[in-house]
Structure 1
Amino acid sequence: MSVASHQTLRVLEGSYVLERAADGTDGVPRADVLAMVFGPDGSTVMRRNDTGADRWSALWNGDEAHDVQATGMLSAIVAPLAAGGLPVWVVSSYDGDIVLVPADRLDEACEVLEAAGHQIRR
């Protein structure tokens, strides 16, 4: 049985929004910023906002850190979500992955992941 197919994910407190930052200075780390990605299209900020439109809920699989060369860890999470028609936005750190799902579909996402063999901690 693969470690990837039986992960423990924790639902992070609150809701998050995704925003484009005009330049790197817009995303100066603040307490509400969970992640910032610098890409060829500019910067994207994932920040806590419990009242914003288009809110996302965050699932974290890094409490039980996996080897950075472990294969299939992220795909074991996003594949069942995709099969269930759930959109995701993902960012990874050294110890784990943050998988965002639409806040209004969190319960559905948790059910899909549990059916796939994962444990969800709320």
Structure 2
Amino acid sequence: MSTPARLTLSVLGGDYAVTRLDPHAALPHWVMQGEMQGELWSLSRTPDELSVLCAAALVPAGLQTQAGWSALKLHGPFEFTLTGILSSVLNPLRDAGIGIFALSTFDTDYVLVAREQLPEALAALRQAGHQVLP
């Protein structure tokens, strides 16, 4: 099955950061700080690193972090048999010169763009035929 021609996306509230920790580090307790969590957080461990995506305000000083991300939610759920979901969003962003950080969950995908490039990202997505909710 191929992807629907037009996807619906929305901008999540908040400022997000991606942090790199040692691959053997304990899971960081600061990610799960009650109401300050934000709408999205994720932990991913590989043999090379432990990556943390969370609200920028939660990240302690002194860590290898890139802050200033805005998060876009692709409204799913999407069947695993669908193809081209991410590429239908990433290609217009690539063509507009906008870098991304992508994250997938069981039901859907999230694409983060630099906060200062959010207006251009939204314009590129709309021009590609996607609906971006306010």
1:4 maps onto 2:11 in alignment: no
Match of 1:25 in 2: 26
Identity of aligned residues (%): 30
- The runs of 5 or more residues in structure 1 that have no matched partner are none
The alignment covers a number of residue pairs equal to 120
Does the residue aligned with 1:47 lie in a helix, a strand or coil? strand
Question: How many Å separate the matches in 2 of 1:37 and 1:81?
Answer: 24
Match of 1:103 in 2: 115
> Residue 113 and residue 51 in structure 1: after superposition, are their counterparts in 2 closer, same or farther (change >3 A)?
farther
Please say which of residues 91-100 and 36-45 is displaced more in the overlay.
36-45
Match of 1:61 in 2: 74
Length-normalised TM-score, structure 1: 0.86
Match of 1:117 in 2: 129
Q: Alpha-carbon deviations, 1:60-99, whole Å to 9, x = none? A: 113x311122100011001110111000001100111110
Match of 2:49 in 1: 42
Structure holding more helix per residue? 2
1:92 maps onto 2:92 in alignment: no
> RMSD of the TM alignment (CA)?
2.2
Length-normalised TM-score, structure 2: 0.79
Does the residue aligned with 1:80 lie in a helix, a strand or coil? helix
Query: Which is higher, the Rg of structure 1 or of structure 2?
Result: 2
How far has the Cα of 1:54 moved from its partner?
3.2
8 Å Cα contact 1:21-1:27 kept in structure 2: no
> Residue 51 and residue 120 in structure 1: after superposition, are their counterparts in 2 closer, same or farther (change >3 A)?
farther
